[in-house]
Amino acid sequence: MTSSAPTSGTLDVLVLGSGVAGLSAAVRLAAPLSPTGYGGDGGGLRVGVLTKAELSQSATRWAQGGVAAVLGGDEDSTDLHLADTLAAGAGLCDADAARVLVDEGPSRVHELIAMGAVFDRQPGGALALAREGGHSTARVVHAGGAATGAEVERALVDATRASAAAVLEEWFALDLLVEGGRCRGVVAMALDGRAVEVRATHTVLATGGAGQVFSVTTNPAEATGDGLAMALRAGVSVADVEFMQFHPTALHHPAMPRPLLSEALRGHGALLRDARGERFVDELAPRDVVSRAMAERMHEQGVDSLWLDATQLASFDSRFPTISAELAAIGLDPATDWLPIAPAAHYLSGGVLTDLWGATALPGLWAAGEVACTGVHGANRLASNSLLEGMVFGARLAETILDGGTGPTPTGVLAPVLEGRVEAVDAPQPPASGAGRPDLDGLDGLDGSGAPADVAKARDLLQRAMTDGAGVVRSAGSLARAGRVVAVLADAVSSAPADRAGGELANLLTAARSVLASATLRTETRGAHARSDFPESSEAWRCRIVHDGSERGTVLAPATGDPQDDTAGRSPR
């Protein structure tokens, strides 16, 4: 349904995607329609929000645990949050961007509360704070127990609907419009299937992640890497895509997306147990460490799932009502049953490179949220820093546009690219499709006609190949196997229909190629990227792998900034 159509002509800002990052930008940029709208003044710009599903149907609403921000507690400080973020990022965070994240987070949470979001509180009225893996103290605000994303999305959707933003639901962005070295909007497939140009002075990529590249994921079906692929096709730099984060405690169950058993359960004392019932890892370690330990234990014990033991948790049902209801629906009682778990693709830590204000390398194109690489996550995102990143950088880019910002600055992770401080390297070439045809059941059934059934089948084959070859632990051999499948699929479906399913498949294949190229190039283990053939981290690899859509990769020196510099990232543009 389209709740309000854009009038003809050029929009001031077109926001692609309707999760926390996109809507945090939209509500600040658009004029408020009613006094019940966003409590700020609203920017008064002509804004459109384009989303391929309904407005409220984004990955944000699936987020469970919460928003990490320093909102109370004598033991906590933004310096401590920064230190935890940098430690989780395994040497690849941009400290200036992470400083922005932790410093601006608390006020963005308060703004969201002013907008109407309701977070859980203690009996005395203070915000209830939970602890999650990688955090040195309790600092995660949450809603509905572990239904935080749903509440954040509800509040932002209400504020957007109460604004003058035009909303285009069930529209599918096909490609960026690039003219005269600037992004001028997109070509999109309208609700009726027509390809139309939606022109805008500024375009914001807030299209979310690419978890659907994998067969086992916590991401909804819409997470098909659309923004990442559009950026690559337009030659816009993306980085860190080898760092797909696998969440350790997805329920081992056929449902897709996989039901998540929030990290907050471990924060409350739930234990991880192997096939013999023994504990084997610190439950509160960052999630890359936990997922890797699980993968190794599963391999050693020849099993495809382990256990989360929450039997000793007091008040499970009242503290985690949505998880409790999901478990009850499939016949599991956390008071008596250990819960079967296995890692699942959860969050792309990299994405389209941005400066400290959300501008990409292409003037007129901005990015925020999971599609972006601001550098705050490095090689592994700290738990509950994702909603926070969307809130902080979505708002920040909106304020920058309102201040007259027009293009990128040499700051944050974008600085080395804009300043040419890069070392070009030959990226591994994807295998030719004829070379060593992979023995994956079903490949032979793809006839290259691009029939709809082929598209669904190809998506399934791609997902299985990526989970097998580019999962929690990879090697040169496993990545090459996945690469051969991707090459065959790309050939077989090159004439796929120009509908949404065909477009999503093309985007998934583009995202997969990028992940495989970076993962093959990075011959070390770091953060969420674990190589069985290179099990150690290497100082030589403390750099970012950047793609610009060509078949090359570029190795950069990391822009780490100075974690002690309080002014980092807050100087005027």
Q: Which is nearer to ligand SIN, 325 or 424 (CB)?
A: 325
Q: Between residues 383 and 473, which has the closer beta carbon with respect to ligand SIN?
A: 383
Distance CA 201, CA 12 (A): 5
Q: Which is nearer to ligand SIN, 389 or 548 (CB)?
A: 389
Residue 336's Cβ-count burial label (10 Å; 0-12, 13-18, 19+) is exposed
Q: Are 468 and 485 in contact (CB under 8 A)?
A: no
Nearest CA to 227 among 185, 288, 175, 279?
175
Distance in Å from the first CA to the final CA of the chain: 39
Q: For ligand SIN, which is the closer residue by CB, 63 or 270? A: 63
Q: Is 419 exposed, middle or buried (0-12, 13-18, 19+ CB in 10 A)?
A: exposed
Write the DSSP symbol of residue 168: E
In the complex with ligand SIN, the residue whose CB is nearer, 266 or 457, is 266
Shortest Cβ 396–ligand SIN spacing (Å) = 20
CB of 273: closest distance to ligand SIN in angstroms? Answer: 18
Quick check: is 287 catalytic?
yes
Q: Which is nearer to ligand SIN, 365 or 372 (CB)?
A: 372
Would you tell me which residues interact with ligand SIN (CB under 6 A)? Answer: 63-65, 146, 260, 262-264, 347, 383-384, 386
Q: How many of the other CB atoms lie within 10 Å of CB of 97?
A: 29
Nearest-approach distance from CB 135 to ligand SIN, in angstroms: 10
Rounded least distance, CB 387 to ligand SIN, Å: 8
Pairing of strands 166-169, 530-531: unpaired
Q: What angle do CA 433, 434, 438 make, to 5 degrees?
A: 75
State the number of CA atoms in the 13 A half-sphere of 481 facing the CB: 17
Cβ of residue 93: shortest distance to ligand SIN, in angstroms? Answer: 16
Give the three-class secondary structure for 356: coil
The active-site residue, picked from 61, 108, 287, 459, is 287
Shortest distance, CB of residue 436 to ligand SIN, whole angstroms? 37
**In this complex, which beta carbon is closest to ligand SIN, that of residue 185 or of residue 257?**
257
DSSP string, 406-450: -S--S-GGGHHHHTT-EEEE-PPPPPPTTTT----TTGGG--SS-
How far is the C-alpha of 543 from the C-alpha of 466, rounded, in Å?
Answer: 24
**Separation CA 89–CA 374 (nearest Å):** 12
Least distance CB 33 / ligand SIN (angstroms): 33
Least CB distance to ligand SIN at residue 80 (A): 18
Instruction: Select the residue whose beta carbon is closest to ligand SIN and give its number.
Output: 65
- Comparison of 265 and 485: residue with beta carbon closer to ligand SIN: 265
Residue for token pair 């999962």: 471
Spatial distance between the Cα atoms of 310 and 333, rounded to a whole number of angstroms:
10
The encoded tokens of residue 248 equal 């350790």
Q: Considering beta carbons, is residue 148 or 201 the nearer one to ligand SIN?
A: 148
From the CB of 252, what's the least distance to ligand SIN, in Å? Answer: 16
Nearest distance, CB of residue 68 and ligand SIN, angstroms: 8
Give the residue with the Cβ less far from ligand SIN, 344 or 496: 344
Burial 486-514 (b: 16+ CB within 10 A, else e): bbbbbebbeebbeebbbbbbbbbbbbbbb
**3-state helix/strand/coil string of 50-111:** EECCCCCCCHHHHCCCCEECCCCCCCCCHHHHHHHHHHHCCCCCCHHHHHHHHHHHHHHHHH
* Cα distance between residue 110 and residue 76, in whole Å: 17
**Measured distance CA(43)–CA(353) in Å, rounded:** 25
Q: Which residues pair with 344 in a beta bridge?
A: 247
Residues 79-83: contacts with CB within 8 Å, 24+ apart? 80/136, 80/137, 81/105, 81/135, 81/139, 82/563, 83/136, 83/563
Catalytic residues: 287
